[in-house]
């Protein structure tokens, strides 16, 4: 299998980047997308050229580090799939593939395909935790929680923080990520003690990181590898307005 790659190369956030052409032949269609980039980097190293920098960690679709734009789509053309789970059989032999970093003011490029997503960490540290002393682990049935609330909380908690929602939103909004972190705690009894303070702090931190406002196009849900629902954004807005009301 042969691919023609156009990869964004940028030395650092202050340098001007550009798309660089690469050709790879004799590729196995069953290779993952990241394995293909590994193959390219081995070739570049042999040629005394700089390898392409890109983020990755687990390569199992659970860490969210492998985010990049592939042919203009976050994580590539397959639905609910991370880049590391994307395989070359998805593409045609001889196809031209454009590979670029996530684009967002809040995600500055560190080098090539690597971006700085520490803004997400600051949103989490501003309130995405439960600070109560739980002591010993309680019995599983000690705190009554409805099945509906449990399922909704777990669905929201599935967010892996990859940033695809930000990269695909025309306003660069982090509403889906932030709302998922707020929702899964607000839905469970353990997180309700700080629900008002949490939502205000996290929304304010999101704004301070210069993420845009929600565009209401629901593109974030479409490109999310975990299929996080935009219903969580509505829940975040409810929690935020509720917190402001009780703060008065």
186-212 pLDDT per residue, tens: 999 888 889 999 999 999 999 999 999
In the predicted structure, residue 131 carries a pLDDT above the cut 90? no
pTM for this one?
0.92
pLDDT band at residue 129 under the 50/70/90 scheme:
confident
Using a 10 angstrom Cβ sphere, with 0-12 exposed, 13-18 middle and 19 or more buried, the burial of residue 90 is middle
pLDDT band at residue 85 under the 50/70/90 scheme:
very high
pLDDT (tens digit per residue) in 102-121: 999 999 999 999 999 999 99
Which pLDDT score, from 0 to 100, does residue 166 have?
A: 97
Q: Which of 151, 195, 203, 157 is nearest to 178 (CA)?
A: 203
Which pLDDT score, from 0 to 100, does residue 230 have?
A: 97
Contact 36, 97 (CB under 8 A): no
Domain with CATH 1.10.1060.10 in the chain: 115-130+142-244
Percent of the residues in the chain that have a pLDDT greater than 90, as a whole number: 88
pLDDT (tens digit per residue) in 212-231: 999 999 999 999 999 999 99
| Average pLDDT of every residue of the chain | 94
| 115-130+142-244 CATH pick, 3.40.50.300, 1.10.510.10, 1.10.10.2120, 1.10.1060.10 | 1.10.1060.10
Distance of CA 136 to the CA centre of its chain: 33
Which pLDDT score, from 0 to 100, does residue 111 have?
A: 97
Contact 199, 187 (CB under 8 A): no
pLDDT (tens digit per residue) in 133-180: 767 777 777 788 889 999 999 999 999 999 999 999 999 999 999 999
| 1-105 CATH pick, 3.40.190.10, 3.10.20.30, 3.40.50.10680, 3.90.650.10 | 3.10.20.30
In the predicted structure, residue 248 carries a pLDDT above the cut 90? no
Domain with CATH 3.10.20.30 in the chain: 1-105
């Amino acid at each position: 299998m042969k691919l023609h790659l156009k990869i964004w190369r940028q030395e650092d956030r202050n340098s001007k980047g550009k798309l660089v052409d690469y050709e790879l032949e004799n590729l196995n269609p069953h290779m993952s997308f990241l394995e293909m980039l590994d193959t390219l980097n081995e070739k570049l190293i042999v040629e005394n050229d700089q390898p392409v920098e890109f983020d990755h960690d687990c390569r199992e679709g659970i860490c969210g580090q492998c985010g990049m734009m592939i042919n203009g789509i976050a994580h590539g053309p397959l639905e609910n799939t991370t880049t590391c789970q994307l395989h070359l059989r998805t593409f045609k032999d001889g196809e031209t593939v454009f590979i670029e970093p996530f684009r967002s003011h809040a995600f500055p490029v560190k080098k090539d395909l690597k971006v700085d997503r520490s803004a997400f960490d600051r949103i989490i540290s501003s309130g995405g935790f439960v600070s109560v002393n739980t002591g010993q682990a309680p019995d599983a049935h000690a705190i009554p929680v409805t099945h509906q609330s449990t399922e909704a909380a777990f669905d929201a908690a599935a967010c892996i923080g990859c940033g695809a929602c930000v990269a695909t939103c025309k306003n660069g909004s982090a509403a889906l990520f932030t709302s998922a972190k707020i929702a899964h705690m607000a839905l469970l009894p353990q997180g309700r003690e700080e629900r008002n303070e949490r939502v205000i702090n996290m929304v304010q931190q999101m704004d301070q990181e210069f993420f845009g406002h929600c565009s209401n196009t629901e593109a974030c849900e479409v490109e999310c590898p975990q299929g996080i629902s935009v219903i969580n954004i509505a829940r975040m807005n409810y929690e935020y307005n509720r917190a402001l009301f009780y703060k008065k």
